[in-house]
Amino acid sequence: MLKRFDPFAVLALVGIPGAAATVFFYAPLERTMGVVQKIFYFHLGLAAAAFLSFFVACVAGVLYLLRRQRVWDERGTAAVEVGVLFTTLVLLTGSIWGRPIWNTWWTWDPRLTTSLILWFIFTACLILRSAVEQEEKRAVFCAVMAIVGFVDVPVVFLSARLWRSIHPTVIRSEGIALEPAMIVTLAVSLAAMLILWRALFRLRCSIQRQENTLLDLQQQLQR
């Protein structure tokens, strides 16, 4: 399924187990949360990759509206889909992390609520894609939704600072509030997640391109 020499897929196959090993065997135990804090490293990596995905979807949306080239719709679709997958995993891992720490699976905290809104916006974009049949109309709707939806990304990022939130913030204006070994682990898992994102994005783009080519061929044959 993966291209034999896709460098990102190969890097992800090496990087993800490497990052997991760093999380479990190198990162020190956090004093108050204990072993469950180790969810944090991949949770943050997933969130960063999801934000990147929605940024790419927004840029692809703008470029599609300006140039009307199918390639931007393909990239936008791939970015939204991978972004929704990563956001789903962020919400699930965050909920599991929150249960022993906050004693609840879910709370209407600003960071959690804005993240859920982000998930709803881009999931709606995917549903819309499957509902509209006309290709150009579908691409325009999704481009507009991706641009509008991206507005929520900085809101999610700043929510814990703007409003009273119980969600921890590690990246502050004074620096990263972690000890050096934890920063190294975070950097490794972040890099691994971004590489995985790139590999999935490339794969999804290529599938979308193949589907579009196939559709063109079918239409040509029907004429």
Residues that bind other proteins (CB under 8 A): 1, 20, 33-36, 38-39, 42-43, 46, 85, 88-89, 92-93, 96-97, 99-100, 196, 200, 203-204, 207, 210-211, 214, 217-218, 221
**Closest of 169, 217, 181, 179 to residue 26, by C-alpha:** 181
Q: How far is the CB of 65 from other proteins (least distance, A)?
A: 27
Distance CA 61, CA 40 (A): 31
Nearer to other proteins, 17 or 154 (CB): 17
Closer Cβ to other proteins, 115 or 147, answer by number: 115
User: At closest approach, how far in Å is the CB of 212 from other proteins?
Assistant: 10
Nearest residue (CB) to other proteins, 93 versus 165: 93
Q: How far is the CB of 34 from other proteins (least distance, A)?
A: 5
Paired with 30 in beta bridges are: 34
* Tally of CB atoms within 10 A around 123: 14
Taking the C-alpha atoms of residue 80 and residue 86, their distance in angstroms, rounded to an integer, is: 10
Q: Which is nearer to other proteins, 102 or 120 (CB)?
A: 102
- Find the length of the chain: 223
User: Least distance from C-beta 214 to other proteins, angstroms?
Assistant: 6
Rounded to the nearest 10 degrees, the angle between the axes of helix 110-131 and helix 70-102 is: 140
